[in-house]
């Protein structure tokens, strides 16, 4: 162990927020801190902050400082943090289109410290408009085989490694049947759901997540099997600026009370694990998904899944031979884009296919669903090990620091960071 700890600056969703990006960044940070060989400074973005005072956690104190920022920060904030905190590595994570402002000053940053990008999502066709962005990093870690394949094709000269998300399978695990039965009984009494099949959707209410479409298709499913046969639990914000007004959709479709339940409060991990345990199936039919952490957590708890075969979801539902739920092949591709992103594909599902999948899972025997869940958990433990994930990131950060250097030992010394007060 070196005498001086390596300091890492992270930029991502706030690492104490419940988002997938925030959660995975927190896991990486905690692994680095637990090793005793790293300190961390974080820019916590993507959410509105009531105040922007620096934060520290009770467990790690001054070894982990968090600076809340709107968006993901600014060039001047990054310049100031680098000058004042003198980190050795810059790590950042989320969709590449959010980091154009950061890559604009990569020459300044990389003159002093290496840039490490945890790449969460791109879809086919190969987005060559991101080539310059990829090549602006010293290292790229890719969360899915799809993302890894894209990076290797678009920027083959950039150091890249497939590092999938992980789930703590010691925490997200099948719970004792008696404990689950007690929780389910209390839930049924509160929501009049005894004997109903429970579907679970744990996602952000964003357009590409298809939250509104799922409600519409669930209504069609109930029309076919009976409105007293199933309930859809949606753990999301029903009204989100990035999504749809889900309460309005429920009202417009005249869906009766108790058929769709919204869970809006932040749920502690132990309660979330219980939710996965007592529901019958977890759903993710996003048009595009970098990884999809909720369905992996569900499998880790032994509960089968229904997913769109897009992005990282297709790696979760099957290992190429066995299946751990129902994987739905997209029926069409939609080309979407913006000024920053000229075009990108989204994988669209036909509503009839989704309704059919809901019916198939509903009509499946409990024994067959348990086989999906049991083999799914084995798949998670084998391929998405939390301990392997932690060790990979600790070793990776050491390797980058040793090979790339920082400040006085940095290889790239052609530029200098602009002074910011």
Q: Determine the length of the chain.
A: 421
Which of 30-34, 289-293, 298-302 is the least confident region?
289-293
Question: Cβ–Cβ contacts within 10 Å for residue 121, how many?
Answer: 23
Which pLDDT belongs to residue 47? 66
Q: Residue 276: which pLDDT band, with cuts at 50, 70 and 90?
A: very high
Residue 330's Cβ-count burial label (10 Å; 0-12, 13-18, 19+) is middle
CB atoms within 10 A of CB 331: 12
Residue 243 CB coordination number (10 Å): 20
Question: Quick check: 376 pLDDT over 90?
Answer: yes
Mean per-residue pLDDT, 1-20: 82
Distances in Å between the Cα of 140 and the Cα atoms of 143, 144, 155, 365, 391 are 10, 12, 10, 43, 17
- Say what percent of the chain tops pLDDT 70: 93
Confidence of residue 91 (pLDDT cuts 50, 70, 90): very high
Cα 400 from Cα 324, distance rounded (Å): 36
For the CA atoms of the chain, what is the radius of gyration? Answer: 22
List, for residues 315-354, the tens digit of each pLDDT value: 999 999 999 999 999 999 887 766 555 567 789 999 999 9
Q: Per-residue pLDDT tens for 190-244?
A: 999 999 999 999 988 888 889 999 999 999 999 999 999 999 999 988 887 767 8
Residue 290 — pLDDT band, cuts 50, 70, 90?
confident
In three-state form (DSSP H/G/I as H, E/B as E, the rest C), the secondary structure along the chain is CCCCCEEEEEEEECCCCCCHHHHHHHHHHHHHHHCCCEEEEEEEECCCCCCCCCEEECCCEEEEEEEECCECECHHHHHHHHHHHCCCEEEEEECHHHHHHHHCCHHHHHCCCCEEEEECCCCCCCCHHHHHHHCCCCEEEECCHHHHHHHHHHCCCCCEEECCCCECCCCCCCCCHHHHHHHHHHHHHHHCCCCCEEEEEECCCCHHHCHHHHHHHHHHHHHHHCCCCEEEEEECCCECCCCCEHHHHHHHCCCCCCCEEEECCCCCHHHHHHHHHHCCEEEECCCCCCCCHHHHHHHHCCCCEEEECCCCHHHHHECCCCECEEEECCCEEEEECCCCCCCEEEEECCHHHHHHHHHHHHHCCHHHHHHHHHHHHHHHHHHCEHHHHHHHHHHHHHHHHHHHCCHHHCCCCCCCCCCCC
Band (pLDDT 50/70/90 cuts) for residue 414 is low
**pTM of the model as a whole:** 0.86
* Percentage above 90 pLDDT, the chain: 61
Residue 1 has pLDDT above 50, yes or no: no
Q: Is the pLDDT of residue 128 over 60?
A: yes
**Facing residues of 283 across strands?**
306
Q: Whole-angstrom Cα distance, residue 56 to residue 53? A: 10
344 CB neighbour count, 10 Å cutoff:
21
Q: What's the whole-number mean pLDDT along residues 29-43?
A: 96
Which domains does the chain show, CATH number per domain? 6-166+385-409 (3.40.50.2000), 177-383 (3.40.50.2000)
Q: Is the pLDDT of residue 2 over 50?
A: no
Q: Is the pLDDT of residue 15 over 50?
A: yes
CA-to-CA distance for 303 and 296, rounded, in angstroms?
10
User: Confidence band (pLDDT; 50, 70, 90) for 48?
Assistant: low
pLDDT for the residue 16: 84
Return mean pLDDT, the chain: 89
Model confidence at 372, pLDDT cuts 50, 70, 90, reads very high
**Cα 248–250–252 angle (5° rounding)?**
65
Between the alpha carbon of residue 89 and those of residues 5, 7, 174, the distances in Å are 12, 7, 38
* pLDDT classification of 307: cutoffs 50, 70, 90: very high
**In 3D, which of 242, 183, 187, 182 has the Cα closest to residue 212?**
242
Residue 164 pLDDT exceeds 60: yes
Is the predicted pLDDT of residue 118 greater than 80, yes or no? yes
């Amino acid at each position: 162990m070196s005498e001086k700890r390596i300091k890492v600056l992270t930029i991502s969703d706030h690492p104490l927020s419940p988002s997938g990006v925030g959660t995975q960044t927190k896991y990486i940070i905690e692994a680095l801190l637990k090793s005793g060989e790293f300190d961390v400074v974080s820019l916590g973005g993507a959410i509105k902050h009531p105040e922007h005072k620096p934060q520290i956690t009770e467990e790690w104190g001054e070894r982990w400082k968090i600076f809340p920022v709107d968006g993901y920060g600014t060039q001047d904030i990054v310049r100031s943090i680098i000058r004042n905190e003198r980190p050795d590595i810059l790590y950042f994570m989320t969709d590449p289109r959010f980091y154009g402002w950061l890559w604009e000053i990569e020459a300044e940053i990389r003159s002093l410290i290496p840039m490490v990008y945890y790449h969460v999502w791109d879809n086919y066709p190969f987005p060559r408009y991101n080539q310059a962005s990829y090549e602006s990093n010293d290292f790229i870690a890719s969360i899915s085989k799809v993302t890894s394949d894209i990076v290797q094709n678009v920027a083959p000269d950039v150091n890249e490694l497939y590092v999938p998300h992980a789930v703590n399978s010691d925490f997200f695990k099948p719970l004792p049947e008696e404990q689950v039965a007690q929780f389910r009984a209390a839930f049924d009494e509160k929501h009049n759901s005894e004997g109903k099949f429970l579907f679970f959707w744990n996602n952000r209410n964003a357009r590409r997540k298809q939250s509104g479409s799922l409600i519409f298709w669930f209504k069609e499913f109930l029309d076919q099997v009976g409105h007293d046969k199933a309930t859809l639990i949606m753990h999301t914000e029903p009204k989100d600026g990035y999504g749809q007004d889900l309460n309005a959709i429920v009202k417009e479709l005249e869906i009766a009370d108790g058929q769709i339940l919204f869970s809006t409060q932040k749920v502690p991990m132990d309660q979330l694990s219980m939710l996965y345990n007592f529901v019958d199936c977890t759903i993710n039919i996003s048009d595009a998904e970098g990884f999809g952490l909720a369905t992996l957590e569900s499998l880790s708890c032994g509960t089968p899944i229904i997913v769109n075969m897009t992005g990282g979801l297709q790696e979760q539902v099957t290992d190429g031979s066995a299946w751990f739920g129902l994987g739905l092949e997209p029926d069409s591709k939609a080309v979407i884009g913006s000024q920053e992103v000229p075009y990108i594909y989204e994988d669209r599902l036909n509503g009839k296919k989704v309704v059919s999948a809901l019916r198939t899972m509903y009509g499946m025997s409990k024994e067959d669903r348990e086989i999906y869940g049991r083999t799914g958990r084995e798949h998670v433990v084998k391929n998405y090990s939390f301990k392997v994930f932690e060790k990979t990131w600790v070793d990776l950060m050491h390797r980058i620091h040793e090979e790339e250097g920082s400040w006085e030992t940095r290889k790239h010394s052609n530029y200098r960071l602009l002074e910011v007060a």
